[in-house]
Amino acid sequence: MAPMTPPNPGELDCLAVLWASRKKALKLSEIHQLVGERRRRYGEAPAALTTVSSQLRGLVEKGLLLEVAVREDGKPMKAAPEEPIVRVRGAVRTRGSYLAPAKRSPLTGYRAACAPRLALEQIFRDLAEAYPSEDRCQAVIDMARTVAVSDATLMKLKALLSER
């Protein structure tokens, strides 16, 4: 399977909060709030609601996100698994203006369509390829270090990679 189109940094913020929700569908307002909290933790300004909405639409177009129908309490509308909402995309241009598609329902929720590994595969590949070919195993070690893997585990990882 070909790698998916990777998310941009703003889209990655949205995906990160959805992945942390453990498959629960979240509404735009919830995602906006959580993205704001995430960005504050990193010392960044919160994104506008319209920006988050645009990022969610971009993620749906890339196939990284599903729109699902949810109740007011955030649970699926049906007892069956959440079913994606099928929407007709695109606007129609008429005499200098656009007829926009219908606005989203307040009952629209969003759920990640794939695991982080699949969504970030191309980014991981790009990072690895930034290292000289003889140092690519160092990329794995550096990634492990950034997620605070213990020194003992880093030593084991280095040993395993040196066998390669």
| The total number of residues written for the chain in this structure | 164
Residue 133 DSSP code: G
pLDDT tens column, 53-100: 999 999 999 999 999 988 666 555 554 444 554 443 444 444 555 544
In a domain, 124, yes or no: no
- pTM reported for the whole predicted model: 0.74
Closest to 69 in 3D by CA, of 112, 32, 28, 110: 110
Query: Looking at the structure, do residues 16 and 89 belong to the same domain, yes or no?
Result: yes
Q: How many domains does the chain have?
A: 2
Contact between residue 32 and residue 116 where contact means Cβ atoms under 8 Å apart: no
Query: Looking at the structure, do residues 74 and 155 belong to the same domain, yes or no?
Result: no
Strand order of the β-sheet with 65-69 is 26-27, 108-112, 65-69
In a domain, 70, yes or no: yes
Structural domain including 63 reads 9-113
Closest to 3 in 3D by CA, of 113, 123, 127, 133: 123
pLDDT tens column, 94-143: 455 554 444 556 678 999 999 999 999 999 999 999 999 999 899 999 99
Contact between residue 149 and residue 143 where contact means Cβ atoms under 8 Å apart: no
Query: Looking at the structure, do residues 137 and 100 belong to the same domain, yes or no?
Result: no
Query: Looking at the structure, do residues 67 and 99 belong to the same domain, yes or no?
Result: yes
CATH number at residue 99: 1.10.10
